[in-house]
Structure 1
Amino acid sequence: MNTEAPREHPNVLVFFTDQQRWDTTGLHGNPLGLTPTLDGLARRGVSVDHSYTCQPVCAPSRASLQTGQYPTTTGVFRNGIPLPPGIPTLAHHFRAAGYETGYIGKWHLAPDEHTGPVPERHRGGYDHWLAANLLEFTSDAYSTSLYDGDGRPRHFDGYRADALGTAAVEFLQQQRTGPFFLFLSFLEPHHQNSRDDYPAPDGYRERYADAWTPADLRALGGGNSGEHLAGYYGMVRRLDEVLGTVLDALARRDELENTVVLFTSDHGCHFKTRNDEYKRSLHDASIRVPTVLCGPGLRGGRRLGQLVSHVDLPPTLLDAAGVDVPDGMQGRSLLPLLRDEAAGWPEEVLIQISESEVGRAVRTHRWKYGVSAPDADAWQVPSADRYLETYLYDLHADPDELVNRVSDPECASVRQALGERLAERVAQSGEPRPVIDPPLSPGQPQ
């Protein structure tokens, strides 16, 4: 494993997709060849094989990736809540270290009344700005509008992911004397809200008609994966092509080898098999995402086996760039793991759930354990002081999370141990340590 120290402040590029399951990628066993560029990046760099969002919905996960803090710490515990302007972001930290910072694409961290242009105070400290707060409402597959730092619209023809790639290449081609930090945020492969469709580029949906279906979707039936999976796959394929375009632009400028690249997504997609929409559940289909790092200090084709949260990625980027990690970040850098310094690394990740329920969960390599506050208003209330045990999956025996064993007497000791771990992780995240009650007996009123 090559863990050479980075040159003084390498460039940093984040390639951020929306609603992309981990198993859309070849490196996680997808047989359709959707991600050859990403798979190649992983072979040269580091695949974070067990990577999880800390909140499976757009705004909270985005706030965490900007700040390295849990959603309840930032206050962005659901969609529709803006990131408070006073919270330091990656842009602030990189800018203080002499970086030129840029943001392109979907933001979703300003007040909802700002659908397109984002006021400067709500831009998270970024210098270069070409984005839309709610890109799903200012664009369609072949009609894209982004807004610059003066709030002026820029309209793009062609496919939406290509438009963002074009804007990114333009940013990369600018002359500069110092390093850059660019956060490139796509909408794909998120559904098009206006018509609940997954609009792939022309001809791409047809490539994947009747294609391979993940085991959980086959087993659960229902949902709408049969209708939408081909379009979803087509969107993933085009994203990988755009990734290739952006990496090629860096290579032409002889900057690829001195650029830390992070590829990840905000959450996954269960195609309406777990609730009445696409995410907002504790299941791996909602929370597990592909994550790859490559660049100085991040080479060698390493596959990390530890469980990693989104809150760990911001400190990793700063550490890899030689920038001090601030104390306010709640995650930890992955670089010690690449030096085989794993002592003290948590054996589980903490998941917060909102909107669909007020819930908390921990995922270990073997178990998924979740609790909920059944009487809490999941839109108004960020957390609870008392939860009810609601979910328990044995992921070794049941990787598709089909058999909920929360009421199984044989699992009582497992529930007790996981409940203690969950309560401790909730307290470590900054919330009061909760009381966790046992599951309801069949027929017992809530």
Structure 2
Amino acid sequence: MKKKPNIVIINPDQMRADTLAHLGNEASITPNLDALAKEGVSFSNAFCQNPVCTPSRCSFMTGWYPHVRGHRSMEYMLHDDEPNLLRNLKNSGYHVWLNQRNDLFPAQYPEKYAKYCDTYFRLPESPDSLPRDNWRGEKGESNYYSFFRGKVPPHKNLDRIWTEGAVEFIQEYDEEKPFCIFLPLMLPHPVYKVSDPFYSNVNRDKIQKRILPPDGFTGKPKIEKELNKLFNMDSWTEEQYKELRAVYLGMCNEVDFFTGMVIDALKAKGIYDNTVIFVFSDHGDYTGDYGLVEKAQNCFEDCLTNVPFIVKLPKEMGRRKGISDELVELIDFYATVEEIADLETTHQHFGKSLVPYLQKNEEELRDAVFSEGGFRVGESYCSETGGPNGLTEENLYYPRLSLQLSNEFTYNGKAVMCRTKEYKYIKRLYEEDEFYDLRNDPEEVSNVINDENYKDEILVLKERLLTHYLDTCDVVPLNKDKRMDSDFIELLYKK
């Protein structure tokens, strides 16, 4: 029987799709990812199902939308009674390698990690430490909540240690069964900081202009206006924002470097051609767009939801190459691995395998993509607590977390996005909805939800959203239960 292909999953954190040079960003330096896209397919219209870490990861590891099991909180992970791809791969004969970058499994049950992986790579050494807070401005200054640190001394960070661990695993692997490496990274998650050579590699003259918010944040959810106020960055010049964006691209350049390390190891081992490689991020980052940094729990601009998604199949399987503008979702990752690895179907899920498209047996994928987030009034337990010491104004995440914990809970009200190539509709539970004509307003600054000229298009997407919820609102377990005990059946049918 032919050996199943190896699987490598490189999962940067908070990386926007427009950070890839082959997708048109002239300031980006991503040669390894660009080369990988030429050998596989890079989906320019790939979208995450939630704009923050844990819910997105729970979604793409199950093939479920967040609403199927309530994965809308940063502190509700995947539990034993829920499906997950890594466990399914392990149970089907894969050697699964996983590092300590979690945001997926409950950390209070470390003894259960053995169910999900064969190798749990713990840090063999401490990363080089950097002074933590001496770079922040004084409280009330414009750099206090900006997440911007800039150039830092060369150091060995967590991602370098994890990548070296994955490379060593590849170099020494001698088992007959295939392996799966899940390599989630910290980069380019803020704080925005990077060292040379990555810092100096980025040409500041080529940095894309940031998107400015509409006056008074008209038409936008109120959390964006309040975050802008709390970040206190309106005094920043465009040169300062340009430098922040350059540092972020330097961090993405470092992600590309680590990707190259893994690819080189696969090639040196002679197994590159029989390895499936996925590179995708869990969600994006504002990076100065709309006067904001980092992310928000219930906002869905493309800078937050449009993510890199590159797939390279084994040499004999791949047919389609280069850039595709087909709409895809991160939940399609689960379905694609399920087909490639020939996994037993353990649960109903909603992903669409990309294999037929990648093999040119299919020409179209999705007509719309969806993302969702936020909380209902009364779900205060969904709010992040600010860490072991609780939430204080010194916490770097204070602006976002303070709004989650405020009495005006609708700052983080539930919302859902339905996006096609032409339009984006956002239904909000407690605020005015949003509708954007992406053909004429790709920056999403003009909310035309009340424009009569778009009445028909709005109704179409509302209907599409209703169909989506009806189709995906629940799952029925595959295993049937017995309705009656055997003694009762025997008495019932006794002659």
Task: Note whether the superposition's TM-score is higher than 0.5.
Answer: yes
Does 2:359 align with 1:368? no
Equivalences for residues 24-39 of structure 1 within 5 A: 24-39=19-34
More divergent stretch after superposition (290-299 vs 37-46)? 290-299
Gaps of 5+ in 2: 132-154, 215-232, 376-411, 476-495
CA change 1:141–1:211 in 2 (3 A) is farther
In structure 2, the residue matched to 1:119 is: 110
In structure 1, the residue matched to 2:120 is: 129
Does 2:244 align with 1:228? yes
TM-score by length of 2: 0.72
Distance 1:245 1:426 in 2: 42
Superposed CA offset, 1:159-188 (max 9, x none): 332211101112212321210011000010
- More helix per residue: 2
Q: 1:204 aligns with which of 198, 206, 214?
A: 198
CA change 1:141–1:429 in 2 (3 A) is farther
In structure 1, the residue matched to 2:282 is: 266
Equivalences for residues 157-176 of structure 1 within 5 A: 158-173=156-171, 174-176=173-175
Does 2:143 align with 1:100? no
In structure 2, the residue matched to 1:410 is: 453
Equivalences for residues 343-358 of structure 1 within 5 A: 345-354=365-374, 356-358=412-414
More divergent stretch after superposition (51-60 vs 121-130)? 121-130
Q: How many Å apart are 1:123 and its aligned residue?
A: 6.8
In structure 1, the residue matched to 2:353 is: 333
Distance 2:86 2:434 in 1: 38
Distance 2:201 2:264 in 1: 25
Q: Which amino acid aligns with 1:102?
A: W
Does 2:315 align with 1:293? no
Superposed CA offset, 1:81-125 (max 9, x none): 12222212111221222111111241112447x5xxx61326761
Q: How many Å apart are 1:139 and its aligned residue?
A: 6.6
Distance 1:341 1:300 in 2: 10
Equivalences for residues 275-290 of structure 1 within 5 A: 277-280=293-296, 281-290=299-308
Could you tell me whether the CA contact under 8 Å between 2:95 and 2:177 is conserved in 1? Answer: yes
Could you tell me whether the CA contact under 8 Å between 1:54 and 1:287 is conserved in 2? Answer: yes
Q: How many Å apart are 1:405 and its aligned residue?
A: 0.7
Distance 2:44 2:195 in 1: 28
Q: 1:71 aligns with which of 60, 66, 81?
A: 66
TM-score by length of 1: 0.79
Distance 2:358 2:50 in 1: 26
Does 2:359 align with 1:359? no
CA change 1:415–1:171 in 2 (3 A) is same
CA change 1:423–1:216 in 2 (3 A) is farther
Could you tell me whether the CA contact under 8 Å between 1:46 and 1:299 is conserved in 2? Answer: no
Gaps of 5+ in 1: 1-5, 133-137, 144-156, 192-196, 375-387, 433-446
Q: Which amino acid aligns with 1:106?
A: R
Secondary structure in 1 aligned to 2:206? Answer: coil
Superposed CA offset, 1:255-312 (max 9, x none): 1000000000000111354586522311100000111111222354243332111111
Does 2:233 align with 1:213? no
In structure 2, the residue matched to 1:22 is: 17
In structure 1, the residue matched to 2:44 is: 49
Could you tell me whether the CA contact under 8 Å between 1:319 and 1:325 is conserved in 2? Answer: no
Could you tell me whether the CA contact under 8 Å between 1:109 and 1:122 is conserved in 2? Answer: no
Q: Which amino acid aligns with 2:427?
A: V
Does 2:442 align with 1:399? yes
Distance 1:242 1:314 in 2: 24
Distance 2:91 2:115 in 1: 13
Could you tell me whether the CA contact under 8 Å between 2:33 and 2:259 is conserved in 1? Answer: yes
In structure 2, the residue matched to 1:420 is: 463
CA change 1:353–1:399 in 2 (3 A) is same
Superposed CA offset, 1:379-399 (max 9, x none): xxxxxxxxx651111111111
Distance 2:269 2:318 in 1: 20
Q: 1:430 aligns with which of 465, 473, 476?
A: 473
CA change 1:404–1:214 in 2 (3 A) is farther
Superposed CA offset, 1:319-338 (max 9, x none): 12333444422211011223
Q: How many Å apart are 1:49 and its aligned residue?
A: 2.1
Secondary structure in 2 aligned to 1:410? Answer: helix
- More strand per residue: 1
Could you tell me whether the CA contact under 8 Å between 1:83 and 1:122 is conserved in 2? Answer: no
Distance 2:94 2:194 in 1: 35
Distance 1:344 1:23 in 2: 23
Distance 1:141 1:189 in 2: 18
Secondary structure in 2 aligned to 1:398? Answer: coil
CA change 1:105–1:233 in 2 (3 A) is farther
Q: How many Å apart are 1:371 and its aligned residue?
A: 0.9
Q: Which amino acid aligns with 1:258?
A: N
Secondary structure in 2 aligned to 1:252? Answer: helix
CA change 1:342–1:175 in 2 (3 A) is closer
Could you tell me whether the CA contact under 8 Å between 1:17 and 1:264 is conserved in 2? Answer: yes
In structure 2, the residue matched to 1:177 is: 176
More divergent stretch after superposition (282-291 vs 302-311)? 302-311
Distance 2:332 2:66 in 1: 13
Distance 1:105 1:211 in 2: 37
